[in-house]
Structure 1
């Protein structure tokens, strides 16, 4: 929801960063890969009890993830770049979940349920994007919902900081993902019927 509704507030900074990176010779796919490498460090930092470093690299990777898409649109977007972007995003999320699960094994059951909910929500998102004739700014139809990347990062941040509330926060994230899945299924029925 925040990605769809609030992107215009941060887009000028994203644009400036994208232009500067293009000017010095970076490609969108290179930034996608750098964002991925930085992002997966979050799980290691969580596991080694460095929560603020985990949050820093998570959000830096998220910012670069927004920049790479802008860079692609300013240069030459590629279908392979889209595949890299979407798959690397999931691996960063998996890194956070694994870091939390191995650091706090008592919460593993809730994190496993959250993983299932994220997989299902992303399956709907990607399937609707693949079969929809609607086109947007991105290379596929971007189906908005309550839980988009920024909401996920906010919830991951809360889960990393408030460890005593890890299970309730994980279950809150699970409910948000289930709601988003139902929201996207409902919209899919409308646009694909």
Structure 2
């Protein structure tokens, strides 16, 4: 939700950073890899009891993840770059969940359910995107939802910084992901039943 509706407020900063990195002759794919390496370290910092550092690297990773998209649009995006971007995003999320699960094993069951809900929501998202192209839509259909990446990062931040409430925050995250997945399923039924009604759209 925030990725879709609040992006315009931070896009100027994202665009300027993209321009600076392009001047340094960096490619979008290189920044994608850097964002992944930085982001996946978050789970390591969580496990070793460094929550502030974990949150900091998580948000730096998220910012670079937005920057690489702007860089790709300013130059030339590649299909493999998209594959890396989506895959690395999930691995960063998994690293945080694993870090929390190993540090707080008593809440591992809730974190496992959260992982399942993320798989559910992303499966719907990616499948609709793939099927929509075969249905004649102009581009990859981006489904906005209650929980997009920024909401996930906000909830991860609460989970990392306030472990006393970890179980409750995880259950809230789980609920939000399930609602998002169901929301996308219902939207997919409408969109794919009437492919000419909506030409598809990209995020940003």
Fold-level similarity (TM above 0.5): yes
The SS at the match of 1:157 is helix
Q: How far 1:135 moved relative to its partner? A: 4.4
Query: TM-score, normalized by length of structure 1?
Result: 0.97
Partner Cα distance (1:17, 1:57) in 2? 17
Partner Cα distance (1:100, 1:34) in 2? 23
Query: TM-score, normalized by length of structure 2?
Result: 0.92
Give the 5 Å matches for 1:1-193. 1-133=1-133, 134-135=137-138, 140-193=140-193
The SS at the match of 2:176 is helix
The SS at the match of 2:6 is helix
Structure 1 runs of 4+ with >2 Å offset: 133-136
**How many residues end up aligned between the 2 structures?**
190
After superposition, the Cα gap between the structure-2 partners of 1:44 and 1:135, relative to the gap in structure 1 and judged at 3 Å, is farther
The SS at the match of 1:132 is helix
Partner Cα distance (2:138, 2:188) in 1? 14
Q: How far 1:59 moved relative to its partner? A: 0.2
Partner Cα distance (2:127, 2:6) in 1? 25
Partner Cα distance (1:24, 1:38) in 2? 19
Gaps of 5+ in 2: 194-204
Gaps of 5+ in 1: none
